Amino acid sequence: MKQMKFLLVALMAVVMSVSVTSCMNGDDNNIVQRGIFVKNDYTSFVAADGIKIVPSSGMNTLLTGTYYYIACQYDMSQFTENSTSLSVTLLGEPICIDPKSGENPSSSARSATNPLYALSSELKSGMIYFDKNTLIMPIVFWYKSDSDSEKVNAELAKHSFYLSYDTEAIKADDTKLVLTINHVVTESGEEKVKRETYTSIYKAYTLTSALDAFFSKTKKVPEYIVLQAKTNSSEDKLKENDEKYSTLELEYPFDN
């Protein structure tokens, strides 16, 4: 089984452009700042390879979610090849990346109301398997921007991203598990909202039910996971009479 190491997780977070990454000036200065995806362990966190991430300061609230993105600072000289834990200073509040209720893969599909902005190969570097059952992915979509943070939060709360799979479409000789991202926007009132800006968020999807459905038909794990979604990089509108999906294929790097 291929395992993802701590430094790779940190590097991938940098590539995804949501992290803060820097080294302080000077060759002898080992203080670095990075963004890392972690799992909540109550008073600490756990990285994808099992390294314990222990905040020395900056944890101001009780976290109730499961998966988080953290920006942190630490002394690289304190982390060796045999280290099992790392003390860090948080540079901000941890950001929960758990899906909303119902967003994890289901055999009951939701029809998309809005497109994603894009689902392309450029996003591959942002896809991380936290473990064999958890895929962290960036989702790029249209939204209505505003200088008022409360209005932005209210706008983002309208957006849901449901994953679905078609049990009947899985065949015994399949090697690819297809997951559809269904972007659903719940509007309040009759006013038509103009969404002319795109942004990205991250979701840590639990793939267990989809993998189980695939295994029940094929008696093996998939070699690839194919993500598909309706996209439109020109405007926040589903393309008329367009049944085509944009797709992104990922290797599934785990054995049975």
Instruction: Name, of 35-44, 78-87, 121-130, 217-226, the range with top average pLDDT.
Output: 217-226
Question: Average pLDDT, whole number, for the chain?
Answer: 87
Nearest 10 degrees: CA dihedral of 5, 6, 10, 11? -30
Q: Is the pLDDT of residue 75 over 80?
A: yes
CB neighbours (10 Å) of residue 222?
Answer: 22
What is the rounded CA–CA span in Å between residue 205 and residue 136?
6
Flag whether pLDDT at 13 surpasses 90.
Answer: no
Residue 28: what pLDDT? 55
pLDDT at 59: 65
User: What is the number of other CB atoms lying within 10 angstroms of the CB of residue 208?
Assistant: 13
pLDDT of residue 106: 97
The first and second tokens of residue 63, run together, are: 């976290």
pLDDT for residue 17: 34
CB burial of residue 225 (10 Å; 0-12, 13-18, 19+): buried
CA distance 34 to 23: 9
Over 50: is that where the pLDDT of 3 sits? no
pTM of the model: 0.86
Say which DSSP state 98 is in: P
DSSP single-letter state for residue 149: H
**pLDDT (tens digit per residue) in 76-133:** 888 888 889 999 999 989 999 999 999 999 999 999 999 999 998 999 989 999 999 9
pLDDT reading at 234 higher than 90: yes
